[in-house]
């Protein structure tokens, strides 16, 4: 009861109505039975710590009523009914934060897991003031931790350095940050802590005298120059001193900035005026000068840094900045963010920290400020746990299926169900931060096409969607390869050819490997006619394939050494057209086969078969021939229709057409058309090339 009376006096600066609410809260806490074995932080002590921050009534009430011992009361305390929604929400968040047990010491060596935990702690709270209360709880816990076991002291101290001190730093609460770091360091490294503290205490009077002499002379000189300033010594903390000793590999007496002064002036020009005066009055250490005004740090931090030697040879670090620069740095978006933690600042974080500062500084702050902090900073992320306690960072709106693919692609493919906190949920369930997710898998599973339908809500993350699309793409490719193998085997069997030479086929059809060749066959890009022509290369005979392109030999179209009406046939491997340079090949079974002179089957003909070549030319009679063309386009929509219209206008007959579309909407159209001459072919290809989205229109080689 004495403690409560002392605390009532401590809260006397509040208005009468506010004090009445605080007294009601203290009266409730007073109902908790005394327990001499309870060594955890008491909420009254936490509230007193927060008073140093000039916080509002809501924060004080929430701090008092979040005492974990209140759960023992019967009947349970209805905070919402007695103190309102906002206080109840804050209490709920603080109780959750105090019970959270995710951290493990091995996270120290896993920076990504530590950072994810920090973000989850912030994202899970409905009001950023609950984080402030939690930090006060941690400070009070550290203050009373001396009597705890070594294991508990070590665990709490390491968790503080890994999680809570960086959060305090990130939110600009530097007073909390320094106390958290120093107390945690005292428990982790007690011997080193005492050595540094002893060294600082031994030289404290000397340091204060050096700093005061420096400030007195500087302020006097600046006043003579008409520069108004605020100068004060900047305290150094034991943990930050030790970190610098480690980083620079120096003993404490060789550190530059144990003596430190900050100079705040009115404007930018006064910054450089003050710098000039400092450099004129004292000897400088050039390598320690940094102009972060002309060259701001990536996070926007601006200030002039220099180190001087006073008349006794003491090193004094001097920081010179305007009030605006100082305010920006003090909001937590300057050096401490990137330099201490290795993170990168964002505009959203800057705005969020400004919001926090308003909450701390304004007693009657608007509750919307805290809502804005949370929604702006964490609106796009959700943090969930695996059954083993590993934290997974996902995009907001993610489902258990997104979680499964974040664990491993195969886990996603085989996913058949999920449990959230032990309860089975549909795969379209929207995950919430802090939930534990367990994936139920099949031994041999595969994804469902419904998963990539944006209207069904199975997947949110682009990474997971791409994994599913890739699986179906690979499956389709495998099916086309198998189909191509079947087509090739059947065609070879029909022609009586055993074990066709695919090495030559790769070169002939310009394919990099056997699977790609078979896939092209399976997709219809290499048809039966082309396969038959290639498989019969040794004899260069006309194929007997049953295709729509097969035509009866034309007499009188070709003249053989000036003689008309000699039986000839046009080779399907190169499909010569009137106007092409041609040559004949005497076949033992099918008369004379006419090829283009640049046909590979002619240019690669063995020397002993050259005797079977014969001179041929186009006859006087007009005729038409089947020619294969290929049209590729960036967008295949309406491609077949547009090309067909051009061919119809030119009165060109279409024998066959095959369309292949890609996932990115590009496509390739292969057609066999009736052409009378190379001139006609050139004209029609030129017209097709002028269509929108066309990449290329060419004769198939």
Which of 413 and 510 is assigned the larger pLDDT?
Answer: 413
Compute the distance between CA of residue 630 and CA of residue 657 in angstroms, rounded to an integer.
10
Most confident of the ranges 89-103, 273-287, 588-602: 273-287
Compute the distance between CA of residue 476 and CA of residue 517 in angstroms, rounded to an integer.
15
Instruction: Give residue 345's pLDDT band: very low, low, confident or very high (50, 70, 90).
Output: very low
Which of 47-56, 148-157, 246-255, 642-651 has the lowest average pLDDT? 246-255
Give the torsion sign (CA, 687, 689, 690, 691): positive
Which of 56-60, 207-211, 275-279, 323-327 has the lowest average pLDDT? 323-327
What does the H/E/C string look like for 5-62?
Answer: HHHHHHCCCCCHHHHHHHHHHHHHHCCCCCCCCCCCCCHHHHHHHHHCCCCCHHHHHH
Spell out the alpha helix ranges (H) of 144-173. Answer: 150-159, 165-170
Which of 659 and 389 is assigned the larger pLDDT?
Answer: 659
Most confident of the ranges 183-187, 432-436, 606-610: 183-187
> Is the domain of 323 the same as that of 450?
no
Dmax (CA) of the chain: 128
Instruction: Give the residue among 337, 376, 373, 339 at the shortest CA–CA distance from 356.
Output: 373
Q: pLDDT digits over 84-98, tens only?
A: 988 998 888 888 888
Distance of CA 448 to the CA centre of its chain: 25
Domain final position from 592, 618, 644 = 618
- What pLDDT does residue 351 have? 47
> Is the domain of 576 the same as that of 633?
no
CATH assignment of the domain containing 340: 3.30.460.10
| 350 within a domain of the structure (yes/no) | no
Compute the distance between CA of residue 244 and CA of residue 246 in angstroms, rounded to an integer.
5
| 133 within a domain of the structure (yes/no) | yes
> Is the domain of 600 the same as that of 631?
no
> Is the domain of 157 the same as that of 261?
no
Q: For the residues 133-137, what does the mean pLDDT come to?
A: 89
Domain final position from 618, 640, 670 = 618
- What pLDDT does residue 267 have? 92
Compute the distance between CA of residue 170 and CA of residue 337 in angstroms, rounded to an integer.
6
- What pLDDT does residue 187 have? 93
Which of 107-121, 172-186, 332-346 has the lowest average pLDDT? 332-346
Please check the confidence at residue 585 and state whether its pLDDT lies above 80.
Answer: yes
Q: For the residues 31-50, what does the mean pLDDT come to?
A: 79
- What pLDDT does residue 398 have? 92
> Is the domain of 545 the same as that of 611?
yes
* 635 Rama sector, left if φ>0, alpha if ψ -120 to 50, beta otherwise: beta
For residues 340 and 177, is the Cβ–Cβ distance under 8 A? no
Percentage of the residues of the chain whose pLDDT score is greater than 90: 17
Q: Which two tokens stand for residue 456?
A: 């069904």
Q: Which two tokens stand for residue 119?
A: 């973000």
Using a 10 angstrom Cβ sphere, with 0-12 exposed, 13-18 middle and 19 or more buried, the burial of residue 457 is middle
Which of 515 and 41 is assigned the larger pLDDT?
Answer: 515
For residues 50 and 133, is the Cβ–Cβ distance under 8 A? yes
CB neighbours of 299 closer than 8 A, spacing ≥ 6?
333, 334, 335, 337, 338, 344, 345
Instruction: Give the residue among 383, 448, 393, 386 at the shortest CA–CA distance from 415.
Output: 448
Rg (C-alpha) for the chain, rounded Å, is: 41
For residues 697 and 685, is the Cβ–Cβ distance under 8 A? yes
For residues 511 and 484, is the Cβ–Cβ distance under 8 A? no
Instruction: Give the residue among 45, 51, 42, 49 at the shortest CA–CA distance from 18.
Output: 51
> How high does pLDDT run on average in the chain?
78
- What pLDDT does residue 300 have? 63
> Is the domain of 260 the same as that of 319?
yes
Domain count across the chain: 5
> Is the domain of 638 the same as that of 513?
no
| 6 within a domain of the structure (yes/no) | yes
- What pLDDT does residue 361 have? 43
| 104 within a domain of the structure (yes/no) | yes
| 629 within a domain of the structure (yes/no) | yes
> Is the domain of 175 the same as that of 207?
no
| 694 within a domain of the structure (yes/no) | yes
Return the DSSP state at 477.
H
For residues 557 and 618, is the Cβ–Cβ distance under 8 A? yes
Compute the distance between CA of residue 487 and CA of residue 522 in angstroms, rounded to an integer.
7
Instruction: Give the residue among 316, 218, 209, 309 at the shortest CA–CA distance from 270.
Output: 218
| 207 within a domain of the structure (yes/no) | yes
Q: For the residues 551-561, what does the mean pLDDT come to?
A: 54
Spell out the alpha helix ranges (H) of 84-147. Answer: 85-99, 111-124, 129-143
> Is the domain of 161 the same as that of 284?
no
Task: Please state the pTM of the whole predicted model.
Answer: 0.52
> Is the domain of 456 the same as that of 499?
no
Instruction: Give the residue among 496, 614, 576 at the shortest CA–CA distance from 544.
Output: 496
Q: For the residues 104-120, what does the mean pLDDT come to?
A: 68
CATH assignment of the domain containing 447: 3.10.20.30
Return the DSSP state at 225.
T
Q: Which two tokens stand for residue 59?
A: 């924060």
The domain of 686 spans 625-699
> Is the domain of 181 the same as that of 35?
yes
Instruction: Tell me the HSE value of 630 on the side-chain side, using a 13 A CA sphere.
Output: 13
Q: For the residues 472-498, what does the mean pLDDT come to?
A: 85
| 10 within a domain of the structure (yes/no) | yes
Distance of CA 666 to the CA centre of its chain: 28
Q: For the residues 215-219, what does the mean pLDDT come to?
A: 92
For residues 307 and 315, is the Cβ–Cβ distance under 8 A? yes
- What pLDDT does residue 557 have? 65
Most confident of the ranges 101-110, 188-197, 687-696: 188-197
User: 3-state class of 100 per DSSP?
Assistant: coil
- What pLDDT does residue 693 have? 79
Domain final position from 599, 618, 637 = 618
What number of other Cβ atoms are within 10 A of residue 639's Cβ? Answer: 24
Which of 76-90, 220-234, 573-587 has the lowest average pLDDT? 573-587
Instruction: Tell me the HSE value of 580 on the side-chain side, using a 13 A CA sphere.
Output: 26
User: 3-state class of 264 per DSSP?
Assistant: strand
Instruction: Give the residue among 102, 678, 31 at the shortest CA–CA distance from 390.
Output: 102
> Is the domain of 523 the same as that of 580?
yes
CATH assignment of the domain containing 130: 1.10.3210.10
Strand partners, 658: 670
Give the torsion sign (CA, 553, 556, 558, 559): positive
Q: What are the distances in angstroms from CA 364 to CA 93, 164, 327, 483?
A: 20, 26, 22, 74
CATH assignment of the domain containing 663: 3.30.70.260
Please check the confidence at residue 375 and state whether its pLDDT lies above 50.
Answer: no
Instruction: Give residue 5's pLDDT band: very low, low, confident or very high (50, 70, 90).
Output: low
Instruction: Tell me the HSE value of 495 on the side-chain side, using a 13 A CA sphere.
Output: 26
């Amino acid at each position: 009861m004495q403690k409560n009376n002392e605390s009532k006096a401590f809260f006397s600066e509040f208005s009468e109505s506010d004090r009445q609410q605080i007294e009601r809260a203290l009266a409730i806490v007073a109902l908790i039975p005394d327990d001499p074995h309870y060594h955890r932080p008491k909420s009254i002590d936490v509230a007193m710590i927060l008073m140093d921050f000039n916080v509002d009534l809501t924060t004080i009430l929430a701090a008092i009523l979040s005492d974990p011992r209140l759960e023992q009361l019967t009947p349970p305390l209805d905070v919402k009914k007695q103190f309102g929604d906002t206080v109840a929400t804050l209490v709920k968040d603080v109780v959750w934060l105090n019970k959270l047990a995710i951290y493990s010491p091995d996270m120290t060596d896993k920076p990504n897991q530590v950072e994810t935990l920090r973000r989850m702690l912030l994202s899970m709270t409905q009001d950023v003031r609950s984080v402030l209360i939690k930090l006060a709880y941690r400070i009070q816990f550290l203050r009373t931790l001396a009597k705890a076991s070594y294991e508990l002291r070590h665990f709490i101290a390491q968790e503080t350095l890994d999680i809570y001190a960086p959060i305090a730093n990130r939110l600009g609460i530097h007073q909390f940050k320094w106390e958290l770091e120093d107390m945690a360091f005292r428990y982790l490294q007690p011997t080193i802590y005492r050595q540094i503290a002893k060294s600082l205490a031994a030289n404290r009077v000397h340091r204060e005298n050096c700093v005061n002499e420096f400030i007195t002379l500087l302020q006097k000189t600046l006043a003579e120059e008409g520069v108004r300033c605020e100068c004060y010594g900047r305290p150094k903390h034991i943990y930050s001193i030790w970190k610098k000793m480690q980083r620079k590999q120096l003993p404490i007496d060789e550190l530059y900035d144990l003596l430190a002064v900050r100079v705040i002036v009115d404007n930018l020009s006064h910054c450089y005026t003050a710098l000039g005066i400092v450099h004129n009055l004292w000897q400088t250490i050039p390598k320690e000068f940094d102009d972060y005004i002309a060259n701001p740090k990536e996070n926007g931090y601006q200030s002039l840094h220099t180190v001087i030697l006073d008349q006794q040879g003491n090193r004094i670090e001097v920081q010179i900045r305007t009030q605006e620069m100082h305010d920006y740095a003090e909001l937590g978006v300057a050096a401490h963010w990137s330099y201490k933690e290795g993170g990168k600042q964002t505009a959203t974080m800057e705005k969020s920290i400004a919001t926090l500062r308003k909450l701390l500084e304004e007693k009657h702050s608007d509750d919307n400020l805290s809502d804005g902090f949370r929604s702006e900073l964490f609106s796009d992320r959700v943090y969930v746990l695996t059954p083993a306690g590993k934290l997974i960072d996902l995009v907001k709106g993610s489902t258990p299926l997104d979680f499964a693919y974040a664990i491993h692609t195969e886990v996603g493919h085989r996913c058949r169900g999920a449990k959230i906190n032990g309860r089975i949920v549909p795969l379209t369930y929207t995950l919430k931060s802090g939930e534990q997710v367990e994936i139920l898998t099949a031994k041999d599973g595969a994804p469902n096409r419904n998963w990539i339908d944006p209207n069904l809500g199975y997947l949110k993350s682009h990474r997971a969607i791409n994994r599913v699309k890739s699986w179906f793409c690979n499956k389709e490719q495998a099916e086309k390869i198998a189909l191509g193998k079947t087509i090739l085997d059947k065609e070879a069997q029909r022609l009586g050819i055993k074990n066709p030479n695919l090495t030559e086929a790769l070169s002939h059809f310009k394919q990099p490997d056997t699977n790609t060749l078979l896939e092209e066959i399976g997709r219809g890009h290499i048809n039966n006619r082309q396969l038959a022509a290639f498989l019969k290369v040794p004899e260069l005979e006309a194929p007997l394939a049953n295709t729509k392109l097969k035509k009866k030999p034309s007499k009188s179209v070709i003249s053989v050494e000036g003689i008309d009406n000699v039986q000839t046939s046009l080779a399907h491997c190169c499909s010569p057209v009137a106007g092409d340079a041609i040559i004949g090949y005497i076949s033992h079974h099918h008369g004379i086969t006419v090829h283009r002179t640049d046909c590979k089957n002619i240019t690669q003909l063995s020397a002993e078969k050259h005797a079977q070549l014969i001179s041929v030319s186009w006859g006087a009679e007009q005729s038409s021939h089947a020619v294969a063309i290929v049209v590729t386009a960036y967008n295949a929509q309406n491609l077949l229709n547009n090309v067909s219209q051009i061919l119809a206008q030119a009165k060109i007959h279409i024998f066959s057409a095959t369309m292949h579309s890609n996932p990115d909407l590009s496509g390739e159209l292969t057609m066999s058309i009736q052409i009378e001459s190379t001139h006609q072919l050139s004209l029609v290809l030129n017209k097709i090339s002028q269509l929108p989205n066309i990449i290329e229109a060419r004769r198939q080689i």
